[in-house]
A and B are shown apart, each in its own frame.
Chain A
Amino acid sequence: MAAKAEAIKVLICTGTGGLASGAQAVLDAFTAEFAKQGVEAKVGKRCEVIGTGCRGLCANDVLVDVVIPGQEPVTYDFTTPELVPQIVEQHIIGNQPVEKKVAGPYYSKFLEKQKRIVFSRCGTIDAESLDDFLAHNGFNGIKKAVKMKPAEVIDAVKRSGLRGRGGGGFPTGVKWSFCAGSPGDTKYLICNADEGDPGAFMDRSVLEGDPYGLIEGMMIGAYAIGCKFAYVYCRAEYPLAIKRLQKAIDTCYEKGILGKNCMGLGFQLDMRIKAGAGAFVCGEETALMASIEGQRGMSRPRPPFPAVRGLWGYPTNINNVETFANVSYIFYNGPEWYASIGTEGTKGTKIFALTGKVKHTGLVEVPAGTTMKEVIYDVCGGILKNRKFKAVQAGGPSGGCLPEAALNAEVDYDSLIKAGAMMGSGGLVVMDETTCMVDIARFFLNFTRVESCGKCIPCRIGLKIMLEILQRITEGNGREGDIELLEDMAYDIKKSSLCGLGQTAPNPVLSTIRYFRHEYEAHIRDKECPSHSCKALLHFRVIDEKCKKCGACAKVCPVNAIEWEKGQVAKIDLVKCTKCTSCYDACPFMAIE
């Protein structure tokens, strides 16, 4: 271990976000450069190039940390392979960080208000290395857990106050006790990694960055409940996550950590990954189980709950990835420590995926009780292009939109529901003044309508009709009374749908009507889209007074339909214009209507 602590480490983010920005090329460049220059001999220390999990600030990928023993780590952002020789030459050999390329003060600000517990290993350890995991507390939690009786383990989880991170917020310890209390020897444990909410990717990040941590959490759960078989149901859109987790499971079998006698601790657990096949509804627990059984992923009425009759008719316990990841840390540091973080009703931290029109998109982990305002402005740097904030959509297709007035809401299960949104899986999509709220409601409804399994009628037909109404409003054909009709239908669908998908699908519509009714009215009465976003209601005209003659619109126009000369107001040639709306987004002054 001593030799390892001495080594110079280059940590490169190789999550999906990093890889998409070219992390592999950067990693290869470092490895090649080290070999070419004979760096190890020059500096007299071992040099390691490590591919880590995501470290959160995806907008500035590729992020590279250079850790020289005895010095503060230095972070570079927007790294390219061309930059690598310079970093190696100046920083690693010459000990002079390449100041120009070091991530700015926003990076430390990005980290300041965060409390990275679940993510503490993501981005610092080699995601694929068991040794690295063991060196960072790995499997200490399960070792502590097996010294207690299963009932005591459940009690510890209850005392920690952990609530399900999948969105519902049901107390995890209570859920475990239901399944543990069901009669029978055959019980199943399932980890729900079917992270379908568009705009949420924290589970993927945990799977990619700390797969062993998830396995450990599941082992603790399996021991407490008495399950001998565990499934991880992962959506097939995450090939890298499946690959890394499979590798981790294989290694665990090799080392005897999983199998007949886990780590020699005297209990049995087998684990298998089941890949989904592209159905959002499979994130619902009964649909998920149907999918594992090899059927169409359709939900069924509850009760009986999975804890009584679940997978193949046996008692089953289902938790989300983030929940299991939290469990490991509860046992490293004790339930009392965990309960000391957060608010009265919500303990611990919550990971959010910030996307949309915010400066630093990415993953942030904050203690419960932080306000939305702090997350958006302090951690993530505020709104892109310094435009005006309009709303933040929390909780994906099941959640709602919060306007500026509700920004002081705390990140906490109960206060978010009171504000009209929900925690959901933790996706936060930030919208500025150019985003039309009617269009957003239409977007989410279109999503849930496509993903509805079709079993129950309110969801299958009701959502379709609501979508048609929204469609005609955004096209300028809305009628008086449409808003009331939408509200009526939303209420009925919520009350009568079979599963969580239908029961929550109208939420985006209801919350946008609640806070942005005037936008609906403008579409219906004046046939205008106040945000200049609904294509059918656009005129493609430059407002002379607002135009600052910058020419940004002319540059992005793919068909050269914009006439502009320096110092002149731009003009759009409507004959050439293909109505692609590129110019709207590019205009910093909202001068096109």
Chain B
Amino acid sequence: MSKVAQKVKEEEIDLTGANQVIDKYIDMKGALMPVLQGVQEFYGYIPEPTVHLIAERLNVYPSQIYGVLTFYAQFHLEPRGKYIIRVCMGTACHVKGASRIADTLTDRLKIGHAETTEDLKFTAEYVACIGACGMAPVIMVNDATYGSMTVQKMDEVIAKYKAMD
């Protein structure tokens, strides 16, 4: 974990948001997953204090919660970058050269799958399929999709987001 990430993690976590999420789902059967998804949406990741809060209020063991958190690819236990670059590694993208795009990302930003840059600006993620196979190879930066990627286009995209705040 980078120093910046460490610092973010050590800041006091305000649990109001987590409490609100739990209030919403507490009476539901099988509430754990929706609660975790809600908490992650609020904080951007799952901070440790919230795990204990959820355990307390939903009456499950923290170990059970960690079991769920580490099983599913979409839960994150550490702060993540401002721009999430998702590189699609689905079959169609693979056939059309997705590994080349991932290599470019690693080369330029020095981050591989599930890694974040030191300054918390970029996080790379290799995903199975984002369902835009018609435009393979595809990447997503937060909500924006970029299709028919080449190494050159990848450089342009990286430069664009580097220049942004």
Residues of A within 8 A of B (CB): 16-17, 19-21, 58-59, 61, 196-201, 204, 236-238, 274-280, 291-298, 312, 353, 355-357, 361-362, 393, 396, 427, 429, 431, 435, 440, 443-444, 447, 451, 453, 556, 558, 578, 580-582, 585
Kindly state the separation between the CA atoms of A578 and B89 in the bound complex, as whole angstroms: 21
Partner of B94, one of A279, A443, A580, A585: A443
Can you name 14 A-B pairs with beta carbons within 8 Å? A16-B132, A196-B128, A201-B131, A238-B131, A274-B33, A275-B33, A291-B33, A292-B30, A294-B31, A353-B133, A361-B133, A429-B91, A429-B95, A444-B91
B3 in the interface (beta carbon within 8 A) = no
Q: Is the CB of B91 within 8 A of A199?
A: yes
The answer to whether B90 and A297 touch across the interface, beta carbons within 8 angstroms, is no
Report B80 CB to chain A, min CB distance, Å.
Answer: 14
Known interface pairs A16-B131, A61-B134, A558-B155. Does A277 touch B95 (Cβ–Cβ under 8 Å)? no
Residues on A with C-beta less than 8 A from B52 are none
> B52-77 vs A: 1/0 string, CB under 8 Å?
00000000000010011001111100
Question: A279's contact among B32, B72, B127, B135, by CB below 8 Å, is which?
Answer: B72
Q: Bound state CA distance, A297 and B74, in angstroms?
A: 13
Complex CA gap A237/B138 in Å reads 14
Judge whether A20 and B147 touch: CB under 8 Å.
Answer: yes
With A and B bound together, what is the CA distance between A212 and B14 in angstroms?
A: 40
Complex interface: chain A residues within 8 A of B107 (CB): 578
Task: Kindly identify, within residues 111 to 139 of chain B, every residue whose CB is under 8 Å from any CB belonging to chain A.
Answer: 127-136, 138
B103 touches A580 (CB 8 A): yes
Quick check: B91 and A236 within 8 Å, CB to CB?
no
CB distance from B136 to the nearest CB of A (A): 7
Q: Does B29 contact A (CB under 8 A)?
A: yes
Q: A20-B138, A361-B134, A582-B151 are in contact. Are A277 and B91 (CB under 8 A)?
A: no
Contacts of A582 in B (CB 8 A): 97, 100, 150-151
Residues of A contacting B89 in the complex (Cβ-Cβ under 8 angstroms): 198
| B contact residues around A280 at 8 Å (CB) | 128
Any A CB within 8 A of the CB of B104 = yes
| Minimum CB–CB distance for B103 against chain A, Å | 7
Binding site for A on B (CB under 8 A): 29-34, 36-37, 64, 67-68, 71-75, 89-92, 94-97, 100, 103-104, 107, 127-136, 138, 145, 147, 150-152, 155
The answer to whether A362 touches B134, judged by C-beta atoms less than 8 angstroms apart, is yes
Considering the complex, give the chain B residue whose CB is closest to the CB of A429.
B91
Q: Are B32 and A294 in contact (CB under 8 A)?
A: yes
Query: Closest CB-CB distance, B55 to chain A, in whole Å?
Result: 13
Given contacts A277-B37, A296-B71, A443-B91, contact A357 B132 (CB under 8 A): no
B133–A199 touching, CB < 8 Å: yes
Q: Are A198 and B95 in contact (CB under 8 A)?
A: no
> What distance in Å separates the Cβ of A110 from its nearest Cβ neighbour in chain B?
13
Query: Are B92 and A429 neighbours in the complex by a CB distance under 8 Å?
Result: yes
B165 to chain A, nearest CB (A): 23
- Docked pose: A199 CA to B147 CA in angstroms: 15
Note all chain A residues with C-beta closer than 8 A to B75: 277
Whether A356 pairs with B91 at a CB distance below 8 angstroms is yes
- Most interface-central of A196, A198, A291 (chain B CB within 10 A): A198
- Assembly CA distance A538 to B95 (angstroms): 17
Hey, which chain B residues are within 8 Å of A353, CB to CB? Answer: 133
Contact status B97-A585, CB under 8 Å = yes
Contact partners of A296 in chain B: CB under 8 A:
67-68, 71
Smallest Cβ distance from A436 to chain B, in angstroms?
10
- In the assembled complex, the Cα of A275 lies from the Cα of B68 at a distance in Å of 14
* Closest chain A residue, CB of each to CB of B72: A277
Alpha-carbon distance A428/B31, docked complex (angstroms): 37
Q: Of the candidates A21, A199, A295, A356, which one forms a contact with B129 in the assembled complex, judged by CB atoms under 8 Å apart? A: A199
Within the complex, which residue of A275, A362, A393 is in contact with B37, where a contact is CB–CB below 8 Å?
A275
Nearest CB of B to A302, in Å: 21
Do residues A556 and B152 form an inter-chain contact, with CB atoms below 8 A?
A: yes
Write out the residue numbers on chain B whose beta carbons fall within 8 Å of the beta carbon of A276: 72
Query: Which residue from B29, B31, B72, B133 sits with its C-beta under 8 Å from A297?
Result: B72
Cross-chain contact A355 with B37 (CB below 8 angstroms): no
Given the interface pairs A199-B129, A237-B127, A296-B71, the reply to whether A356 lies near B100 with Cβ below 8 Å is no
B145 and A198 contacting across the interface, CB-CB below 8 Å: no
Task: Flag if B96 contacts A21 (CB, 8 Å).
Answer: no
CA distance A19 to B132 in the complex (A): 10
Decide: B150 and A556 in contact? CB cutoff 8 A: yes
**Chain B residues in 8 Å Cβ range of A312:** 29
A277 touches B73 (CB 8 A): yes
Q: Which residues of A contact B31 (CB under 8 A)?
A: 294
A20-B147, A293-B30, A355-B136 known; A278-B91 Cβ under 8 A: no
A20 and B151 contacting across the interface, CB-CB below 8 Å: no
Complex Cα distance, B145 from A200, in Å, reads 18
Tell me which residues across on chain A come within 8 A of B72, comparing CB atoms.
276-279, 297
Q: Which residues of chain A come closer than 8 Å to B131, judged between CB atoms?
A: 16-17, 201, 204, 237-238
Residues of A within 8 A of B136 (CB): 355-356, 361
CA gap between A200 and B104 in the complex, in Å:
26
- Write the nearest CB–CB distance from B125 to chain A, whole angstroms: 10
Taken together as a complex, chains A and B put the C-alpha atoms of A236 and B38 apart, in Å, by 13
Q: A20-B145, A198-B90, A558-B152 are in contact. Are A357 and B95 (CB under 8 A)?
A: yes
Contact call B133/A431, Cβ cutoff below 8 A? no
B130 touches A21 (CB 8 A): no
**Are B135 and A21 neighbours in the complex by a CB distance under 8 Å?**
yes
Q: Whose C-beta in chain B lies nearest to the C-beta of A279? A: B72
Q: Give the top 8 A-B pairs by smallest Cβ distance, nearest first.
A: A58-B134, A198-B90, A355-B92, A294-B32, A278-B73, A277-B72, A20-B145, A278-B74
Candidates B33, B134, B151; contact of A277 at CB < 8 Å: B33
With A and B bound together, what is the CA distance between A393 and B92 in angstroms? 10
Q: Would you give the shortest CB distance from A437 to chain B, in whole angstroms? A: 11
